[in-house]
Chain A
Amino acid sequence: MDIRVNKSDLRKVNKMFDKLDALGDKGVDMIIDKNGLLISRDIKLPPIPVDTGNLRNNVVYNAKDKAIESKAPYSGFLEFGTRFQKAQPYFFGKINLGLKRLMLDLNNAIKRSLR
Protein backbone atom coordinates (compact mmCIF):
# COMPACT_ATOMS: atom_id res chain seq x y z
CA MET A 1 0.00 0.00 0.00
CA ASP A 2 1.40 3.39 -0.99
CA ILE A 3 1.18 6.38 1.27
CA ARG A 4 1.59 9.58 -0.68
CA VAL A 5 2.17 12.88 0.98
CA ASN A 6 1.43 16.08 -0.84
CA LYS A 7 4.46 18.43 -0.72
CA SER A 8 2.36 21.34 0.38
CA ASP A 9 0.86 19.29 3.24
CA LEU A 10 4.34 18.17 4.26
CA ARG A 11 5.42 21.81 4.39
CA LYS A 12 2.40 22.59 6.59
CA VAL A 13 3.26 19.72 8.95
CA ASN A 14 6.88 20.87 9.17
CA LYS A 15 5.72 24.40 9.86
CA MET A 16 3.54 23.11 12.71
CA PHE A 17 6.50 21.27 14.24
CA ASP A 18 8.57 24.46 13.97
CA LYS A 19 5.84 26.34 15.79
CA LEU A 20 5.76 23.69 18.53
CA ASP A 21 9.55 23.97 18.77
CA ALA A 22 9.12 27.68 19.39
CA LEU A 23 7.11 26.88 22.52
CA GLY A 24 10.27 25.10 23.66
CA ASP A 25 11.42 23.55 26.89
CA LYS A 26 11.61 26.95 28.61
CA GLY A 27 7.99 27.76 27.86
CA VAL A 28 6.79 24.36 29.09
CA ASP A 29 9.06 24.54 32.18
CA MET A 30 7.60 27.92 33.03
CA ILE A 31 4.04 26.57 32.86
CA ILE A 32 4.97 23.55 35.00
CA ASP A 33 6.78 25.73 37.57
CA LYS A 34 3.87 28.17 37.73
CA ASN A 35 1.41 25.34 38.36
CA GLY A 36 3.76 23.59 40.81
CA LEU A 37 3.93 26.73 42.93
CA LEU A 38 0.17 27.23 42.71
CA ILE A 39 -0.49 23.63 43.77
CA SER A 40 1.89 23.84 46.73
CA ARG A 41 0.22 27.10 47.79
CA ASP A 42 -3.19 25.44 47.42
CA ILE A 43 -2.11 22.47 49.57
CA LYS A 44 -1.13 24.85 52.38
CA LEU A 45 -4.72 26.15 52.56
CA PRO A 46 -7.38 24.36 54.64
CA PRO A 47 -8.17 21.44 55.06
CA ILE A 48 -4.46 20.85 55.80
CA PRO A 49 -4.26 19.81 59.47
CA VAL A 50 -2.35 22.42 61.47
CA ASP A 51 -1.08 22.13 65.02
CA THR A 52 2.38 23.71 65.12
CA GLY A 53 2.51 24.58 61.40
CA ASN A 54 5.39 22.15 60.76
CA LEU A 55 3.46 20.14 58.15
CA ARG A 56 2.39 23.29 56.31
CA ASN A 57 5.93 24.68 56.35
CA ASN A 58 7.26 21.43 54.91
CA VAL A 59 5.08 21.42 51.79
CA VAL A 60 7.44 22.70 49.10
CA TYR A 61 7.79 22.80 45.34
CA ASN A 62 11.11 21.47 44.08
CA ALA A 63 11.66 23.27 40.77
CA LYS A 64 14.72 21.16 39.89
CA ASP A 65 12.85 17.85 39.99
CA LYS A 66 9.45 19.40 39.15
CA ALA A 67 8.10 17.79 42.31
CA ILE A 68 5.76 18.85 45.07
CA GLU A 69 6.97 17.40 48.33
CA SER A 70 5.51 17.11 51.80
CA LYS A 71 8.71 16.66 53.79
CA ALA A 72 7.31 16.24 57.29
CA PRO A 73 8.08 12.61 58.23
CA TYR A 74 4.49 12.02 59.41
CA SER A 75 2.89 13.35 56.15
CA GLY A 76 1.80 9.90 55.02
CA PHE A 77 0.19 9.10 58.37
CA LEU A 78 -2.03 12.18 58.04
CA GLU A 79 -2.83 11.66 54.35
CA PHE A 80 -3.67 7.96 54.56
CA GLY A 81 -4.43 7.44 58.26
CA THR A 82 -3.12 4.77 60.60
CA ARG A 83 -4.76 2.31 62.95
CA PHE A 84 -4.42 4.97 65.67
CA GLN A 85 -5.74 7.99 63.75
CA LYS A 86 -8.14 8.51 60.88
CA ALA A 87 -6.93 9.94 57.58
CA GLN A 88 -6.97 13.71 57.06
CA PRO A 89 -6.28 13.90 53.32
CA TYR A 90 -4.75 17.25 52.37
CA PHE A 91 -2.32 16.41 49.55
CA PHE A 92 -3.42 14.26 46.62
CA GLY A 93 -6.85 15.87 46.12
CA LYS A 94 -5.16 19.23 45.52
CA ILE A 95 -2.50 17.58 43.36
CA ASN A 96 -5.14 16.01 41.09
CA LEU A 97 -7.00 19.31 40.72
CA GLY A 98 -3.72 21.10 40.02
CA LEU A 99 -2.82 18.56 37.34
CA LYS A 100 -6.14 19.28 35.59
CA ARG A 101 -5.26 22.99 35.57
CA LEU A 102 -1.75 22.19 34.34
CA MET A 103 -3.17 20.11 31.47
CA LEU A 104 -5.48 22.97 30.47
CA ASP A 105 -2.56 25.44 30.59
CA LEU A 106 -0.38 23.17 28.42
CA ASN A 107 -3.31 22.67 26.04
CA ASN A 108 -3.76 26.46 25.79
CA ALA A 109 -0.05 27.00 25.14
CA ILE A 110 0.08 24.32 22.43
CA LYS A 111 -3.07 25.64 20.73
CA ARG A 112 -1.67 29.17 20.84
CA SER A 113 1.67 28.16 19.35
CA LEU A 114 0.00 26.18 16.53
CA ARG A 115 -2.27 29.03 15.40
Chain B
Amino acid sequence: MKEPIRFIRQKIFTLLNGNVSYGGANIPVYNRVPSSQSEPYIIVSSADSAQTNQNQSDFIVECITRIEVVTSFFSDDGGELQVNDIVESILELIKTSTTDYFDLTSNNFNVFTSNINGVAYSNDDDDEKTYYRAIIDIANRVQQN
Protein backbone atom coordinates (compact mmCIF):
# COMPACT_ATOMS: atom_id res chain seq x y z
CA MET B 1 0.00 0.00 0.00
CA LYS B 2 1.27 3.45 -0.87
CA GLU B 3 0.75 6.74 0.92
CA PRO B 4 -0.96 9.31 -1.34
CA ILE B 5 -1.24 12.22 1.11
CA ARG B 6 1.93 13.95 -0.10
CA PHE B 7 0.64 14.01 -3.66
CA ILE B 8 -2.58 15.69 -2.54
CA ARG B 9 -0.63 18.23 -0.51
CA GLN B 10 1.55 18.88 -3.55
CA LYS B 11 -1.53 19.41 -5.76
CA ILE B 12 -3.04 21.86 -3.30
CA PHE B 13 0.27 23.67 -2.95
CA THR B 14 0.60 23.98 -6.75
CA LEU B 15 -2.98 25.23 -7.05
CA LEU B 16 -2.54 27.91 -4.39
CA ASN B 17 1.06 29.02 -4.80
CA GLY B 18 1.14 32.31 -6.73
CA ASN B 19 -2.62 32.25 -7.31
CA VAL B 20 -3.98 33.73 -4.10
CA SER B 21 -3.68 37.44 -3.62
CA TYR B 22 -5.23 40.13 -1.49
CA GLY B 23 -5.15 43.85 -2.21
CA GLY B 24 -2.82 43.23 -5.15
CA ALA B 25 -0.23 41.39 -3.06
CA ASN B 26 0.49 37.70 -3.54
CA ILE B 27 -0.03 35.56 -0.45
CA PRO B 28 2.79 33.05 0.07
CA VAL B 29 2.08 29.37 0.68
CA TYR B 30 4.20 27.24 3.00
CA ASN B 31 4.37 23.85 4.61
CA ARG B 32 6.74 25.20 7.27
CA VAL B 33 6.67 28.96 7.75
CA PRO B 34 10.03 30.75 7.93
CA SER B 35 10.39 32.76 11.14
CA SER B 36 11.02 35.93 9.10
CA GLN B 37 7.67 35.69 7.24
CA SER B 38 5.05 38.26 8.18
CA GLU B 39 1.32 37.76 7.83
CA PRO B 40 -0.73 37.09 5.76
CA TYR B 41 0.36 33.63 4.69
CA ILE B 42 -1.10 30.19 4.00
CA ILE B 43 0.07 26.89 5.49
CA VAL B 44 -0.69 23.59 3.76
CA SER B 45 -0.13 20.50 5.89
CA SER B 46 -1.24 16.89 6.13
CA ALA B 47 -3.56 16.28 9.07
CA ASP B 48 -4.48 12.63 8.89
CA SER B 49 -4.81 9.61 6.67
CA ALA B 50 -6.53 6.29 7.31
CA GLN B 51 -7.51 3.23 5.36
CA THR B 52 -11.22 3.15 4.69
CA ASN B 53 -13.83 1.38 2.53
CA GLN B 54 -12.15 -1.97 3.18
CA ASN B 55 -12.55 -4.40 0.31
CA GLN B 56 -10.80 -7.44 -1.15
CA SER B 57 -9.11 -5.88 -4.13
CA ASP B 58 -8.33 -2.20 -3.52
CA PHE B 59 -6.41 -0.04 -1.14
CA ILE B 60 -8.56 3.00 -0.37
CA VAL B 61 -7.31 5.75 1.89
CA GLU B 62 -9.00 8.88 3.19
CA CYS B 63 -6.52 11.75 3.41
CA ILE B 64 -7.23 14.91 5.32
CA THR B 65 -5.23 17.94 4.29
CA ARG B 66 -5.32 21.11 6.35
CA ILE B 67 -5.03 24.62 4.95
CA GLU B 68 -4.48 27.36 7.47
CA VAL B 69 -4.77 31.06 6.65
CA VAL B 70 -3.12 33.53 9.04
CA THR B 71 -3.64 37.29 8.87
CA SER B 72 -2.80 39.97 11.39
CA PHE B 73 -3.32 43.62 12.14
CA PHE B 74 -1.65 45.99 14.54
CA SER B 75 -3.96 46.52 17.48
CA ASP B 76 -7.50 47.09 16.16
CA ASP B 77 -6.60 48.16 12.59
CA GLY B 78 -8.52 45.35 10.89
CA GLY B 79 -10.96 42.52 11.29
CA GLU B 80 -11.99 39.14 9.94
CA LEU B 81 -12.81 40.28 6.41
CA GLN B 82 -9.34 39.67 4.98
CA VAL B 83 -9.24 36.09 6.21
CA ASN B 84 -12.77 35.49 4.86
CA ASP B 85 -11.76 36.80 1.42
CA ILE B 86 -8.64 34.64 1.32
CA VAL B 87 -10.63 31.55 2.35
CA GLU B 88 -13.08 32.27 -0.47
CA SER B 89 -10.24 32.54 -2.99
CA ILE B 90 -8.80 29.23 -1.76
CA LEU B 91 -12.12 27.41 -1.95
CA GLU B 92 -12.74 28.77 -5.46
CA LEU B 93 -9.40 27.36 -6.58
CA ILE B 94 -9.79 24.00 -4.86
CA LYS B 95 -13.46 23.25 -5.40
CA THR B 96 -14.11 24.28 -8.99
CA SER B 97 -17.13 21.98 -9.28
CA THR B 98 -18.89 19.30 -7.25
CA THR B 99 -17.44 16.54 -9.43
CA ASP B 100 -13.94 17.82 -10.14
CA TYR B 101 -11.31 15.99 -8.10
CA PHE B 102 -7.53 16.17 -7.99
CA ASP B 103 -5.94 14.29 -10.86
CA LEU B 104 -3.37 11.86 -9.44
CA THR B 105 -3.38 9.39 -12.35
CA SER B 106 0.30 10.09 -13.06
CA ASN B 107 1.04 8.96 -9.49
CA ASN B 108 -1.12 5.83 -9.92
CA PHE B 109 -3.91 7.02 -7.65
CA ASN B 110 -7.55 7.76 -8.34
CA VAL B 111 -9.24 10.46 -6.23
CA PHE B 112 -12.97 9.77 -6.11
CA THR B 113 -14.37 12.05 -3.39
CA SER B 114 -13.39 15.48 -2.16
CA ASN B 115 -15.18 17.13 0.74
CA ILE B 116 -14.60 20.31 2.67
CA ASN B 117 -14.98 18.83 6.15
CA GLY B 118 -15.10 22.19 7.85
CA VAL B 119 -13.78 25.72 8.08
CA ALA B 120 -12.99 26.97 11.58
CA TYR B 121 -12.16 30.57 12.42
CA SER B 122 -10.33 31.90 15.43
CA ASN B 123 -8.60 35.04 16.58
CA ASP B 124 -6.05 35.82 19.24
CA ASP B 125 -3.98 38.75 20.40
CA ASP B 126 -0.46 39.35 21.51
CA ASP B 127 0.77 42.64 22.93
CA GLU B 128 1.15 44.17 19.43
CA LYS B 129 -1.07 42.38 16.96
CA THR B 130 -4.44 40.71 16.56
CA TYR B 131 -4.23 37.48 14.57
CA TYR B 132 -7.11 36.08 12.54
CA ARG B 133 -6.93 32.49 11.43
CA ALA B 134 -9.01 30.12 9.36
CA ILE B 135 -8.48 26.38 9.22
CA ILE B 136 -9.90 24.45 6.27
CA ASP B 137 -9.99 20.64 6.36
CA ILE B 138 -10.28 18.85 3.04
CA ALA B 139 -11.00 15.12 2.95
CA ASN B 140 -10.09 13.18 -0.20
CA ARG B 141 -10.72 9.50 -0.75
CA VAL B 142 -8.05 7.93 -2.85
CA GLN B 143 -7.87 4.53 -4.52
CA GLN B 144 -4.51 3.04 -5.35
CA ASN B 145 -4.39 1.87 -8.97
- Binding stretch for chain B, among A9-17, A55-63, A93-101: A93-101
The distance from the CB of A49 to the nearest CB of chain B, in whole angstroms, is 10
Per-residue A-contact encoding for B120-134, CB less than 8 Å = 1, 0 else: 111011110001010
Are B135 and A108 in touch, CB under 8 angstroms?
Answer: no
Size category, A interface: 20 to 34
Query: Does A28 lie at the interface of the complex (its beta carbon under 8 Å from any beta carbon of B)?
Result: no
Given contact pairs A97-B133, A111-B139, A112-B62, A105 touches B124 in the complex (Cβ within 8 A)? no
What band does the interface of chain B fall in when counting residues whose beta carbon is under 8 Å from A?
A: 20 to 34
Residues 57-85 of A, flagged 1 when their CB comes within 8 A of B and 0 if not, give: 00000000000000000000000000000
Q: Is the CB of B118 within 8 A of A104?
A: yes
A108 touches B47 (CB 8 A): yes
The answer to whether B64 and A108 touch across the interface, beta carbons within 8 angstroms, is yes
Tell me which of A86, A89, A101 contacts B135 (CB under 8 A): A101
List the B side residues contacting A112 at CB < 8 Å.
Answer: 50, 52, 62, 139
Of the listed residues A46, A97, A103, the one surrounded by the most CB atoms of chain B closer than 10 A to its CB is A97
CA distance A112 to B115 in the complex (A): 12
Distance in angstroms from A107 CB to nearest chain B CB is 6
CB distance from A82 to the nearest CB of B (A): 14
Dominant secondary structure at the A interface: helix
B117 interface neighbour in A88, A96, A100, A107, Cβ under 8 Å = A107
Given that A47-B126, A93-B126 are contacting pairs, would A104 and B135 also be in contact in the complex, using a CB cutoff of 8 Å? Answer: yes
Q: Beyond the given A93-B126, A97-B124, A107-B118, could you list 11 further A-B residue pairs with CB under 8 A, ordered by the A residue number? A: A92-B124, A93-B131, A96-B124, A97-B122, A100-B120, A101-B135, A104-B66, A108-B47, A108-B64, A112-B50, A112-B139
Across the A-B interface, the 7 shortest Cβ-Cβ residue pairs:
A93-B124, A100-B120, A100-B122, A104-B137, A47-B126, A97-B122, A108-B64
User: Which residues of A line the B interface, CB within 8 A?
Assistant: 46-47, 86-89, 92-94, 96-97, 100-101, 103-105, 107-108, 111-112, 115
